[in-house]
Structure 1
Amino acid sequence: MDNTLSKERYNFFDLVEVVKILRSENGCPWDKEQTHESMKSNLIEETYEVIDAIDKRDPYLLKEELGDLLLQVVFHSQIEAERSNFSIDDVIDSLVKKLIYRHPHVFGDVRLKNSDEVLKRWEDLKLKSKNNASEEGIFSDFTTALPALILAYKAQRKAKNVGFDWKEADGILEKIKEEVDEFKGVMNSNDRDKMLDEVGDILFSVVNLARFFGIHPEDALRLSTLKFIKRFVLMEKIIKEDNLKISDLSIEKLDLYWEKAKKLETR
């Protein structure tokens, strides 16, 4: 490793070695103190920064953010290597074996027609690879530590892959209407638990509608939120140009400015 710091170009093995040194006795005090638990927020932040780079369609930023995310994988693996549980090589070995096993239509003789068949086959193979999977069911190893929209989407997709799904979109739309009506029935009750439950049912049904049409709800909501922010910023600019303060305007006036911003966006 003596020549690592003077190389013109580094590779994956250099990264692993650098992290090992940072965690060593003579390494960085901060890096040595970190645990799986203390690094959880970093892992989440780096993941979302990768998503942000993708949304910005910036390949140079994406390269940087993927590197930061990769560091998280190597770092967590190094913690376990120090405990003699597994190394980054074991992580890669397990991953490659899993990819080959779950893609028999690529690395074997299985023939699949489309992506839906691939996903169903994937779930079948996941079940077979787990001990007593047939007794435990499809949610036996399901990760619930996910953002709610992604959690709902993945749960519905798992159910779909074993045949539990809506036959047509009209049924989902009727379900959404039903859930909205149920919320209307409790919204004046001051019972926040009931309202929480009914709002959750509405959102879950909307996720079902998006998923049915191959739309990821996280992407759809992110797009709409970014559109809202962009339009709001434009509205603020128009108000400022009119020498007004947004906090002094009534909601009726704000609605008029909102429509102005909307029209400018469509030009």
Structure 2
Amino acid sequence: MEDKKTVYSFEDFKHIMARLRAEDGCPWDRVQTHQSLRDGMLEEAYEVVEGIDVYQETGDDSNLCEELGDVLMHIVLHARIAEEEGRFTMDDVIQGISEKMIHRHPHVFGTVKADTPEQVLDNWEAIKQEEKQEETLTQGMRRVAKSLPANIRAAKVQKKAAKVGFDFEDYRQAAGKVTEELREVLEVAEKGQPEDVFEEFGDLMFSVLNLSRFLDVNAENALTNATEKFINRFEYIEGTAEKRGLRLKHMTIDEMDELWNEVKHLKDVDV
């Protein structure tokens, strides 16, 4: 058995992951592939985001520290798999990202001037377009990862179009488009055409995302907040119903709506 250390370095961690992948290592780690780890990477990234939210709300960063470690584990494991296949190593990953950071920060490591975060982002995007040899805006849109949550990808694509003026003038025009798309959804729904409903509903969602951009609202966070609010309110009506000797499945929708409207006006409940 190897002696346990009290302090571990990044090199130690790379050794640990290599040991787990060895012939006499861990059966689970040995059979992992990039594809098998794909969903886990996504889950860990979301858990980091939750750790950030917890820290923002409570000041406790222990969960954030742990989840960052889990993401790092995935990164090192992916690099280890690639190294075993003779494709690239963890050192290549570090070399690549180091070169990228230097190249994309000419205002720090070069002579370019950028005094505001907005200027930095403009420079970053211009350098990225040059690196990717993008000659059209459409190429930049296609570069936005399809694996992103749909609302985040939509917002990124919309921002790229807005940079060349292909955009509404203000939130009122964007809101008008939402109304138009909703009307079209209802029209095809009345006709009972599932394929058309699917397409028009997508257009509606896209237009709502556009409106959120004009209102400077993070749609992902807003929807998360609305979902939490719904859960809190539902918990209230379910609990209140039980206190009154009622079961939701035996109540009418009007009776449940009455409790719902009741909780909306309570100030001492986080709803």
Contact map agreement 1:153 1:216 (CA 8 A) in 2:
no
Please point out which of 20, 35, 38 is paired with 1:37: 35
Q: Partners of 1:213 and 1:252 in 2: how far apart? A: 34
Structural mapping, 1:107-122, within 5 Å: 107-122=109-124
Shift of 1:266: 4.9
Structural mapping, 1:184-203, within 5 Å: 184-203=186-205
Q: Partners of 1:74 and 1:261 in 2: how far apart? A: 49
Please point out which of 29, 48, 51 is paired with 2:49: 51
Shift of 1:208: 1.0
For 1:88, the equivalent position in structure 2 comes to 90
Structure 1 residue 22 and structure 2 residue 20: aligned?
yes
Please point out which of 153, 172, 186 is paired with 1:170: 172
**TM-score relative to the length of structure 2:** 0.89
For 1:205, the equivalent position in structure 2 comes to 207
Which AA in structure 1 matches 2:232?
A: K
Structure 1 residue 134 and structure 2 residue 135: aligned?
yes
| Percent of residue pairs bearing the same amino acid type | 38
Which AA in structure 2 matches 1:178?
A: E
Contact map agreement 1:123 1:161 (CA 8 A) in 2:
no
**TM-score relative to the length of structure 1:** 0.90
Q: Partners of 1:166 and 1:114 in 2: how far apart? A: 26
Q: Deviations over 1:41-92 (max 9, x none)?
A: 2112112222222233341111111111111111111110111211112112
For 1:68, the equivalent position in structure 2 comes to 70
Shift of 1:265: 4.8
For 1:125, the equivalent position in structure 2 comes to 127
Q: Which runs of 5+ in 1 are unaligned?
A: none
Shift of 1:163: 4.2
Q: Deviations over 1:89-146 (max 9, x none)?
A: 2112111211221222233222235333332322211110124x21673235331122
Q: Which runs of 5+ in 2 are unaligned?
A: none
Q: Partners of 2:77 and 2:166 in 1: how far apart? A: 39
Q: Partners of 2:86 and 2:49 in 1: how far apart? A: 33
Q: Find the residue that maps to 1:137 and give its secondary structure.
A: helix
Please point out which of 243, 246, 251 is paired with 2:245: 243
Aligned CA RMSD, in angstroms, stands at: 2.0
Q: Which runs of 4+ in 1 moved over 4 A?
A: none
Q: Find the residue that maps to 2:11 and give its secondary structure.
A: helix
Q: Partners of 1:30 and 1:18 in 2: how far apart? A: 14
Alignment: residue pair count: 264
